[in-house]
Structure 1
Amino acid sequence: MSDILENESKSQSNCSQKLQQEQSLSTQESNNAGPPVSICSTPLTGNPYFTSVVVKSQVEAPYQLVVPAWFRKSLPKATIQAYLVHKGKTWEMKYYGESRLKRLGCGWKKFALENNLKVGDGCVFELMDDDKELRLGVQILNGQIPVEFIRLGSAEKPIIID
Structure 2
Amino acid sequence: MKVEVLSVSSCQVKVENQAPLPLPSDPMTNMQTDGIKPLSGKPYFHVIISKTHLRPRYAVGPSGNICSTLPSVAVPTILNCRGKSWEVIYNGQNRCKQFDSRGWENFVKGNNLKLGDACVFELMEHGEKKIVFEVQILRGDFPNECAGIGESEVEPIILYDFPGTGESDSPFVID
TM-score (norm 1): 0.65
Q: Quick check: 1:47–1:129 contact (8 Å CA) kept in 2?
A: no
1:129 is aligned to 125
Q: Secondary structure at the match of 1:66?
A: coil
The count of corresponding residues between Structure 1 and Structure 2 is 121
Per the TM alignment, residue 144 of structure 1 is displaced from its structure 2 partner at its CA by 3.4
Question: Going by fraction, where is helix more abundant, 1 or 2?
Answer: 1
Rounded Cα–Cα distance in structure 1 between residues aligned with 2:88 and 2:81: 14
Q: Secondary structure at the match of 2:95?
A: coil
* Residue identity (%): 34
Per the TM alignment, residue 114 of structure 1 is displaced from its structure 2 partner at its CA by 0.8
TM-score (norm 2): 0.61
Per the TM alignment, residue 127 of structure 1 is displaced from its structure 2 partner at its CA by 0.1
Aligned runs of 1:11-90 on 2, under 5 Å?
15-16=32-33, 38=34, 40-90=35-85
Per the TM alignment, residue 72 of structure 1 is displaced from its structure 2 partner at its CA by 0.3
Kindly name which structure, 1 or 2, has the bigger radius of gyration based on alpha carbons: 2
Greater shift, 127-136 or 76-85, is seen at: 127-136
CA RMSD of aligned residues (A): 2.8
Segments of 5+ residues of structure 2 without an aligned counterpart are 1-27, 143-158, 165-171
**CA 1:14–1:139 in structure 2 vs 1: closer, same or farther (change >3 Å)?**
closer
Q: Encode CA deviations 1:85-141: one digit per residue, 9 max, x unaligned.
A: 001111001110001110011311000011000111101000003555200000001
Rounded Cα–Cα distance in structure 1 between residues aligned with 2:162 and 2:50: 27
Q: Secondary structure at the match of 2:65?
A: helix
Tell whether 2:113 aligns with 1:117. yes
**CA 1:157–1:69 in structure 2 vs 1: closer, same or farther (change >3 Å)?**
closer
Segments of 5+ residues of structure 1 without an aligned counterpart are 1-10, 17-37, 146-153
Q: Encode CA deviations 1:53-110: one digit per residue, 9 max, x unaligned.
A: 0011111100121321422011111011111000111100111000111001131100
Per the TM alignment, residue 14 of structure 1 is displaced from its structure 2 partner at its CA by 7.1
Query: Which consecutive aligned stretches of 4+ in structure 1 deviate over 2 angstroms post-superposition?
Result: 11-16, 129-132, 156-160
Question: Going by fraction, where is strand more abundant, 1 or 2?
Answer: 2
Tell whether 2:138 aligns with 1:141. yes
Rounded Cα–Cα distance in structure 2 between residues aligned with 1:14 and 1:85: 18
1:108 is aligned to 104
Q: Secondary structure at the match of 2:53?
A: helix
